[in-house]
Chains A and B, each alone.
Chain A
Amino acid sequence: MKTNKILTTLVLCALSCFSLFAKSYNIRGVVSDSNSGDPLIGAIVSVKGVNANTTTNIDGAYSLLFDSEVVPVITFSYVGYEKQELRASDSAVQTLNVALKATVDALDELVVIGYGTVKKADLTGAVSIADVEEMKKRNATTVTQALQGQVPGVDVRTNGSPGETGKIYVRGISSLYSDTNPLFVIDGLPTSDTRDFNPEDIESVQVLKDGSSAAIYGSRAANGVIIITTKHGKAGETKVNVAGKWGVQRAVKTYKLMDGPEWLALQEEKYANAGMGSEFNIEDRSINHNWSDEVFQTGLFQDYNASVSGGNKVINYMTSFNYFKHEGIVKGSNFDRFSLRVNGGLKKGIFKLEESLLVSTSYSHDLTSDPFTGIVRMTPLIPTYDEEGNYALGGYNGSQTNGSNPVAQRDLQQSHNRSYRAQGSLAGELQILPFLKYKLNFSFEFNSNIYDTKQKYGKWYPNQTPESMYYESRNHSMRTVIENILEFDKTFYGHHINAILGYTEQREKNTSTWGRVYDITKDSSGEYYWSLSNGTKPSMGESITPHALRSFLGRLMYDFDSRYFLTASFRRDGSSRFRKGLKYGNFPSASLAWRISNEKFFNPLRDIVSNLKVKASYGVLGNEAIGNFKYDTYINSFIPYAYGKDEIWAFGAMPTVMADTSLQWEEKKTWNFGLEASFFHNALTLEADYFINKSDRLLAQVPIPGYIGSWGTIGDNTTTVWRNAGCVENRGFELSLGWKDYSHEFKYDVKVNLSTIRNKVLSLGGDNAPVYGSNTKTEVGGELGAFFTLVTDGIYQVEDIEELNAANPNFTIFGNKPRPGDQRYLDLYSRDENNNIVPIPDGKIDEDDRTFVGSPWPDLTLGLNFTAEYKDFDLSMYWTGSFGSQAYHSALGLLYNVGDNGNYISGLKGWTEENRSQTTPKVYYSEPLRTNSTRFIENVNYMRLKNLQFGYNLPQTALKKIRIQSLRVYLNAENLLTITGYSGLDPEFQGGGVFNLGVDGNSYPAVLSFGGGIQITF
Chain B
Amino acid sequence: MNNIFIKTAMVGCLMFLAACSDNYLDISNPNQVTASDFWKSEEDMESARRACYGAMLQQGCYAQWYDLVFEMRADLCWNESAWRDYANFSKFIYPSSNWECIRYVWNDHYKGIAMFNKFLAHIDDPNIKFEDDDIRKQYKGEVCFLRALFYFNLYHLYGRMPLITEPTDEIIFPANSTAEQAWAQIESDLRVALEANLPEKRPDSELGLVTKGAVQALLGKAYMQQHKWQAAADTFYEIIRSGNYELVDNYGDNFDKDHEHNAESIFEVVFTMDTKGDWTTYGTVNSISGCETAKYFAPRDIGGHSDAQPNYFYLTSFTDKTKEGKEDPRKKSSIFYYPTQKLYGKTYLQFSGASPVINVDRPAIWRIKYSNGTWRDYEDAASPINLRIIRYADVLLMYAEALNNLNRTPEAYDYIQMVRDRSGIENLKDVKPSLSQSEMQNQIEHERIVELGGESVRFFDIFRWGYLDSEEGKALLLEHDYEYEKFRPGIDKFLPIPQNEIDLNPNFTPNVGW
Contact surface of A with B, Cβ cutoff 8 Å: 394-395, 400-402, 430, 432-433, 438, 440, 462-467, 482, 484, 486, 503, 505, 507, 516, 518, 537, 539-544, 546-550, 574-576, 580, 583, 628-629, 632-645, 647, 649-656, 658, 703-711, 713, 716-719, 721, 766-767, 769-770, 772, 815-816, 831, 835, 846-847, 899-901, 926-932
Contacts and interface: CB of A to CB of B under 8 A. Distances in A.
Contact of A636 (B49, B168, B283, B510): B283
Given A482-B18, A635-B34, A575 B25 contact: yes
B275 A537 contact: yes
B344 interface: no
Interface stretch (B108-116, B247-255, B313-321, B431-439): B108-116
20 contacts: A402-B82, A537-B275, A537-B276, A548-B24, A632-B35, A632-B36, A633-B35, A640-B287, A642-B289, A643-B209, A655-B35, A703-B504, A707-B505, A718-B500, A769-B171, A815-B488, A847-B502, A901-B82, A901-B84, A927-B88
A773 to B, nearest CB: 11
A890 B177 CA distance: 36
Contacts of A640: 50, 54, 57, 274-275, 287-289
Contact of B275 (A433, A503, A539): A539
Nearest to A440: B14
Given A575-B25, A634-B35, 18 more contacts: A503-B19, A543-B31, A550-B25, A635-B33, A642-B208, A649-B274, A649-B275, A650-B50, A654-B47, A658-B169, A705-B504, A706-B107, A710-B111, A770-B503, A899-B88, A900-B85, A928-B84, A928-B85
A635 B486 CA distance: 45
Q: How large is the interface on B (under 10, 10 to 19, 20 to 34, 35 or more residues)?
A: 35 or more
A486 B48 CA distance: 55
Interface stretch (B3-11, B412-420, B449-457): B3-11
Contact of B114 (A430, A709, A713, A899): A709
Nearest to A767: B171
Contact of A645 (B82, B110, B261, B286): B261
Nearest to A900: B84
B38 A655 contact: yes
Contacts of A464: 303
B498 interface: yes
B239 interface: no
Interface string B272-297: 10111100000111111100000100
Contacts of B26: 576, 580
B202 to A, nearest CB: 8
Contact of A541 (B4, B172, B276, B284): B284
Contacts of B97: 847
Given A484-B18, A928-B84, A930-B95, A639 B287 contact: yes
B55 interface: yes
B274 A642 contact: yes
B509 interface: yes
B207 A544 contact: no
A574 B87 CA distance: 54
A649 B29 contact: no
Given A539-B285, A576-B25, A639 B51 contact: yes
A634 B15 contact: no
The 5 closest A-B pairs by CB, nearest first: A709-B114, A652-B50, A652-B51, A643-B208, A634-B32
A637 to B, nearest CB: 7
Contacts of B286: 516, 539, 541
B270 A642 contact: yes
B15 A503 contact: yes
Contact of A706 (B169, B306, B500): B500
B426 interface: no
Contact of A639 (B18, B95, B270, B283): B283
A707 B162 contact: yes
A708 B84 contact: no
Contacts of B18: 482, 484, 503, 505
Contact of B11 (A432, A639, A835): A432
Given A465-B379, A503-B19, A815-B488, A772 B500 contact: yes
Contacts of B53: 641, 643, 652
B29 to A, nearest CB: 4
Interface in B475-507: 486, 488, 491, 498-506
A653 B274 contact: no
A705 B30 contact: no
B83 A402 contact: yes
A706 B113 CA distance: 11
Contacts of B260: 647
B501 A706 contact: yes
B118 interface: yes
Nearest to B161: A707
Contacts, number: 304
Nearest to A847: B499
Contact of A544 (B30, B204, B503): B30
A707 B110 contact: yes
Interface centre among A465, A640, A770 (most CB of B within 10 A): A640
B458 interface: no
Contacts of A576: 25-27
B111 A711 contact: yes
Interface in B35-91: 35-38, 44, 47-57, 80, 82-85, 87-88
A268 B8 CA distance: 87
B201 interface: no
B330 to A, nearest CB: 27
Contacts of B30: 544, 546
B103 interface: yes
A542 B513 CA distance: 48
B378 interface: yes
B94 A928 contact: yes
B280 to A, nearest CB: 11
B51 A654 contact: yes
B504 A769 contact: yes
Given A432-B8, A711-B283, A641 B270 contact: yes
Given A632-B34, A705-B505, A928 B95 contact: yes
Interface in B321-347: none
Contact of B287 (A547, A644, A651, A709): A651
Given A550-B24, A580-B26, A718-B500, A634 B305 contact: no
Contacts of B204: 644-645
A642 B513 CA distance: 41
A770 B499 CA distance: 13
Nearest to B169: A658
A708 B276 contact: no
Contacts of B500: 703, 705-706, 718, 772
A400 B82 contact: yes
A915 B455 CA distance: 48
B51 A709 contact: no
A543 B286 CA distance: 14
B147 to A, nearest CB: 11
Contacts of B502: 847
B375 interface: no
Contacts of A654: 47-48, 51-52, 115, 118-119
B149 interface: no
Contacts of A440: 14
Contact of B51 (A641, A643, A815): A641
A484 B51 contact: no
A929 B35 CA distance: 44
A642 B272 contact: yes
A518 B273 CA distance: 14
B164 interface: yes
A629 B36 CA distance: 14
Given A400-B82, A463-B300, A645-B204, A638 B285 contact: yes
A706 B514 contact: no
Contacts of A766: 171
B104 interface: yes
Nearest to A432: B7
Contacts of B95: 928-931
